[in-house]
Amino acid sequence: MIFLDEAAIQVQGGRGGNGCLAFRREKYVPRGGPSGGDGGSGGSVYLQGDENLNTLYHLRFQQLYAAERGRHGEGSKRSGRSGDDLIVRVPLGTVVRDAASGERMGEILHDGERLKAAAGGRGGRGNARFATATNQAPRRVEPGEEGETRRLRLELKLLADVGIIGLPNAGKSTLISAVSAARPKIADYPFTTLIPQLGVVSPGPEFEPFVVADLPGLIAGATEGAGLGVQFLRHIERCRVLVHLVDLSMGEASVEAEVAAVEHELSTFNPGLVQRPRILVGSKLDAVDAERQNDLRAAARDRGLVEMELSAVTGDGLPALVLALRQLLNRTSQQ
């Protein structure tokens, strides 16, 4: 599956059917009067949330999504059939904007939730609608109205309970593969993860599972376009809790500098992200550098954050982290 978190599509509501110009022609009914029926309304285009989708890739192959037009009215005051609505499926977490104005039209967060993207046109009235005491044989009808046409920009923000963030090669992919069934690519070079990965974590039979997201590594200057972080920073906004991973084995800069660099990118993109509940986690405990370990503990104390250490390879510290995350999620849901 190719991950695509942005898409541009055009939606068009169906045109309404025209009203009918007709008169009664039954035998023995002289001057039967007008009998033109109304045209049917055009169908509307709706975006509908689908929990089975996690990417906008399926919208890549079609640019125009048009609903069915309404049928024209007929004689004997028969109204035309209304056009069918068109349903466009999108993943949960999709934000919808008008491409021309940039106006935010809404977001879809729940399975089956609908957002009207383009309304269908109203059907025109037939001449039977215009009969009056002084105009008993009107020849006036209305054409159907055009449906709305919009160019939409869709932006996907993944829905996850926990987001794993950190510099490249901090061990994010190894961690998510150790606590869930997700199998991201793992290698010893930066930017191994090119797309967000989702996994479901089950703390135990007495606890509710939660969704964790492995987000591509951030680097200094990500909000200005450096690296891949700017492309996926939006997904962090949906996460209720953050796991800030720091490599305890080695690093090009000090632990304080690495932690501050990630915090700077988060606050530049969205100041509220650094206030999000966060656990500072030291990874690669099986190859720990004592100085970096002490520096991480000091960084956590200075920020008032919970600090934990683990090895995704040996499993040390993993059960404690999973339990701490579940408890933190429970507290945030009660606030």
pLDDT at residue 208 tops 60: yes
Measured on CA atoms in the order 306, 233, 199, 331, is the torsion positive or negative? positive
172 and 320 share a domain?
A: yes
219 and 120 share a domain?
A: no
90 and 137 share a domain?
A: yes
What is residue 13's predicted lDDT score, i.e. its pLDDT?
Answer: 97
Q: Which of 156, 181, 212 is the last residue of a domain?
A: 156
115 and 216 share a domain?
A: no
The per-residue pLDDT of the chain, averaged, comes to: 86
127 and 213 share a domain?
A: no
pLDDT grade for 224, boundaries at 50, 70 and 90:
low
Choice between 163 and 70, residue whose per-residue pLDDT is larger: 70
Domain with 50, as residue range(s), is: 1-156
pLDDT in tens, 293-332: 999 999 999 999 999 999 988 889 999 999 999 989 988 8
Residue 321 backbone phi and psi in degrees, to 5: -65, -45
168 and 268 share a domain?
A: yes
CA 331 to chain centre: 25
168 and 237 share a domain?
A: yes
pLDDT in tens, 232-276: 677 788 888 999 999 998 877 899 999 998 898 888 888 888 899
For tokens 């109205």, what's the residue? 145
What is residue 182's predicted lDDT score, i.e. its pLDDT?
Answer: 56
Q: Cα-atom radius of gyration of the chain, to the nearest Å?
A: 29
pLDDT at residue 187 tops 50: no
Biggest CA pair distance of the chain: 106
Q: Which of 156, 190, 207 is the last residue of a domain?
A: 156
Count of domains observed in the chain: 2
Asked if residues 38 and 129 have their Cβ atoms less than 8 Å apart, the reply is yes
pLDDT grade for 217, boundaries at 50, 70 and 90:
low
pLDDT at residue 223 tops 70: no
Distances (CA, A) of 64 to 59, 60, 84, 105: 10, 11, 16, 19
Q: Say what angle helices 318-334 and 172-179 make with each other, to 10 degrees.
A: 90
What is residue 49's predicted lDDT score, i.e. its pLDDT?
Answer: 95
Q: Which of 156, 178, 206 is the last residue of a domain?
A: 156
Q: What is the CATH number of the domain that holds 272?
A: 3.40.50.300
Q: What is the CATH number of the domain that holds 122?
A: 2.70.210.12
Identity at 65, one-letter amino acid code: Y
pLDDT at residue 220 tops 60: no
Q: What is the pTM of this model?
A: 0.72
What is residue 335's predicted lDDT score, i.e. its pLDDT?
Answer: 59
Can you read off the two tokens belonging to residue 70?
A: 């309404």
Percent of the chain, pLDDT > 70? 89
Average pLDDT rounded to a whole number, residues 175-192: 60
Average pLDDT rounded to a whole number, residues 169-195: 64
**CA gap 88, 154 in Å, rounded:** 12
**CA gap 113, 107 in Å, rounded:** 9
133 and 220 share a domain?
A: no
178 and 133 share a domain?
A: no
pLDDT grade for 113, boundaries at 50, 70 and 90:
very high
Assign 3-class secondary structure to the chain: CCCCCEEEEEEECCCCCCCCCCECCCCCCCCCCECCCCCCCCCCEEEEEECCCCCCHHHCCCCEEECCCCCCCECCCECCCCCCCEEEEEECCEEEEECCCCCEEEEECCCCCEEEEECCCCCCCCHHHHCCCCCCCCCCCCCCCCCCEEEEEEEECCCCCEEEEECCCCCHHHHHHHHCCCCCCCCCCCCCCCCCEEEEECCCCCCCCEEEEECCCCCCCHHHCCCCHHHHHHHHCCCCEEEEEEECCCCCCCHHHHHHHHHHHHHHHCHHHHHCCEEEEEECHHHCCHHHHHHHHHHHHHHCCEEEECCCCCCCCHHHHHHHHHHHHHHHHHC
120 and 182 share a domain?
A: no
145 and 294 share a domain?
A: no
136 and 224 share a domain?
A: no
Other Cβ atoms closer than 10 A to 190? 13
